[in-house]
Structure 1
Amino acid sequence: MAKKFASQGDLEEKTISFTQVGDGLYAFTAEGDPNTGVIIGDESVMIVEAQATPRLARKVIECVRSVTDKPISHVVLTHYHAVRVLGASAYGAGEIIMSEKARSMVAERGKEDWDSEFGRFPRLFVGHEEIPGLTWPTTTFSDKMTVYLGKRRVDIMTMGRAHTAGDAVVWVPDQEVMFTGDIVEYHSACYCGDGHYQDWPQTLANIAAYNPKSIAPGRGDALVGEEMVNKALASTADFVKSTYDPVARIVARGGSLKEAWDAVRAECDTKFSDYAIYEHCLPFNVARAYDEARGIDTPRIWTAERDIEMWNDLQS
């Protein structure tokens, strides 16, 4: 490779924040690294997103123990990506929940995704030796399921394809707070390498229809209050559209992947270059947009070898 992926040079530890987004609800964030949600019920705790390794999961557990000593009973994984799921074993939860589609994606491409992300994000996988293997759910659902943490009701549901085909969100109705996974980001680039650009705006609209008072997004700061929620929904939609539309125009006239890359940079750099992981996401986003615009509905599986091949194509 002529150059490394941007994330391979991102080796500095990030500052952790643990922000209350509702009564008994928290967002664990770390300057654009993957977020984790915490839902405290009457009897136990639910975790939303497990982190990439048990080492990182223990940082979440430290924050949880600063506010409650209740046992962690459930882990919800909003999708299959390695940086989200491979830390699950650290929580000791009796129930691990995914959508049925997300589980099928673990079976189809989980190992390849792990190998790919391991090469892209060396910092996030420090301590990877503790990972016992792929994370499999104990419980799956098709469209929606409800869990009661004592009296507290938690709805887990699919809203449509966006970041992946198997995305789920978690809704806590008593506080009108939603944990969206990577469907929503705040001042952080969307990773679209396994995404569905043309479906994503409607999925965001489906989330907006709940009128959440706060959102714990996939990356970036916790969104407390309707003004921040609406701002993040709008900026996420703009990011997705601004990435896909230039590529679609290039594909329509038979242009190359490199031309698509140049068109996206011209459209997006001035608006999003200061977003977390922007440079890292860009090549994967352009490659997936190029495929989708050519009618490839199911994202091709990323492997460590395909990562390098794609990056070399863009450098040529």
Structure 2
Amino acid sequence: MAKEFASRGDMTEKTITFSEIGRDLWAFTAEGDPNTGVIIGDDSVMIIDAQATPRLAAKVVEKVRSVTDKPIKYVVLSHYHAVRVLGASAYGAEQVIASEKCRAMVAERGQEDWDSEFERFPRLFQGRESIPGLTWPTMTFTQKMTVYLGKRRVDLMHLGRAHTAGDIVAWVPDEGVMFTGDIVEYHSACYCGDGHFGDWGGTLNAIAGFNPRAIAPGRGDALIGDEMVSAAIENTRDFVASTYRPAAAVAARGGSLKEAWDAVRAECDPKFADYAIYEHCLPFNVARAYDEALGMDTPRIWTAERDKEMWEALQG
């Protein structure tokens, strides 16, 4: 039987958890839905990833207001995906910060991604009429930018390509805490449809090199303590490698995309089938892995039409 497209069948509201992962550092998580990070400084607040709509962002603001009345001055976008950025207007921030590459990707494929993700995640886009339009960063950087929230320092860094070409992390050195966006996941499938498999492992190495005491990942529970942090990084590494390796082997012998799909399923299903959004991500992941193995460095743009054609070919 064909599986229902992407996450269209997932209409159950998730339980929100708001966890303090360091002094005045919080992770807003919701059972595998996109996470948001909160950094509270001496004089203001920084949000890491904005949620899909102002309606969802309002839930983050409610949690923030339960712990501080300081103004939300910055919204940081870890990458360009619609479920991460289109709720930004709800925060009333003075600045929206992202990598220069992220801003370029909004220009290149932001509208297509919005249309695509709206079809994939109907629950997350409830209240979509309140989205004012594409979210455009007002400040960008190429490799590193430091922001001071009073005395609290936050380093925003592009450590390498992974989930997208424009990924950034936020590092809070006074507590040894990192907000990684979707470079690291915890018991949630990595979405690799815009990914760079060959670079992802090196970017994970760079994150591990900071020896973070805690991580707020892109999806899944907050990661607190060396053991949990290390396990999540290595689990993410295994997920990415287990997706790419069989697809690349099929591509190398001239096999078809459907053969790559079967090979990836054979390796990944036993390990990851119970992860959040696994079935949703898998066709997009295999399609991108196959393309990269054939030498396509820049991921093709996903559109609502291409999504469904690919889904029917693989999950149909």
> What TM-score, normalized to structure 1?
0.99
Counterpart secondary structure, 1:47: strand
Q: Give the letter for the 1:29 counterpart.
A: T
Where does residue 291 of structure 1 map in the other structure? 291
Counterpart secondary structure, 1:26: strand
Where does residue 237 of structure 2 map in the other structure? 237
Where does residue 37 of structure 1 map in the other structure? 37
Tell me the distance in 1 between the aligned counterparts of 2:230 and 2:274. Answer: 20
Where does residue 106 of structure 1 map in the other structure? 106
Displacement after TM superposition at 1:6 (Å):
3.8
Counterpart secondary structure, 1:7: coil
Equivalent residue pairs, number? 316
Consecutive unaligned residues in structure 2, runs of 5 or more: none
Counterpart secondary structure, 1:238: helix
Where does residue 259 of structure 2 map in the other structure? 259
Tell me the distance in 2 between the aligned counterparts of 1:107 and 1:96. Answer: 15
Where does residue 226 of structure 1 map in the other structure? 226
1:266-295 CA-partner distances (Å, limit 9, x unpaired)? 000010011111110000000000100000
8 Å Cα contact 2:51-2:88 kept in structure 1: yes
Displacement after TM superposition at 1:4 (Å):
2.4
8 Å Cα contact 2:54-2:131 kept in structure 1: yes
Where does residue 63 of structure 2 map in the other structure? 63
Displacement after TM superposition at 1:3 (Å):
4.1
1:93-115 CA-partner distances (Å, limit 9, x unpaired)? 00100000000000000000000
Distance 1:202 1:295, change over 3 A: same
1:155-181 CA-partner distances (Å, limit 9, x unpaired)? 001000000000000000000100000
Q: Give the letter for the 1:265 counterpart.
A: R
Where does residue 200 of structure 1 map in the other structure? 200
Consecutive unaligned residues in structure 1, runs of 5 or more: none
Counterpart secondary structure, 1:46: strand
Tell me the distance in 2 between the aligned counterparts of 1:283 and 1:315. Answer: 7
Where does residue 271 of structure 1 map in the other structure? 271
Tell me the distance in 2 between the aligned counterparts of 1:288 and 1:262. Answer: 15
8 Å Cα contact 2:283-2:315 kept in structure 1: no
Displacement after TM superposition at 1:58 (Å):
0.4
Tell me the distance in 1 between the aligned counterparts of 2:132 and 2:28. Answer: 23
Where does residue 246 of structure 2 map in the other structure? 246
**CA RMSD of superposed structures (Å):** 1.0
Where does residue 47 of structure 2 map in the other structure? 47
Alignment of 1:160-239 (within 5 A): 160-239=160-239
Counterpart secondary structure, 1:8: coil
> What TM-score, normalized to structure 2?
0.99
Displacement after TM superposition at 1:69 (Å):
0.6
Where does residue 83 of structure 1 map in the other structure? 83
Displacement after TM superposition at 1:147 (Å):
0.4
Displacement after TM superposition at 1:309 (Å):
1.3
Counterpart secondary structure, 2:234: helix
8 Å Cα contact 2:5-2:308 kept in structure 1: no
Where does residue 127 of structure 1 map in the other structure? 127
Where does residue 151 of structure 1 map in the other structure? 151
Tell me the distance in 1 between the aligned counterparts of 2:29 and 2:177. Answer: 16
Q: Give the letter for the 2:16 counterpart.
A: I
Where does residue 117 of structure 2 map in the other structure? 117
Counterpart secondary structure, 1:241: helix
Name the % identity.
Answer: 77
Tell me the distance in 2 between the aligned counterparts of 1:152 and 1:249. Answer: 47
Tell me the distance in 1 between the aligned counterparts of 2:190 and 2:315. Answer: 22
Counterpart secondary structure, 2:279: helix
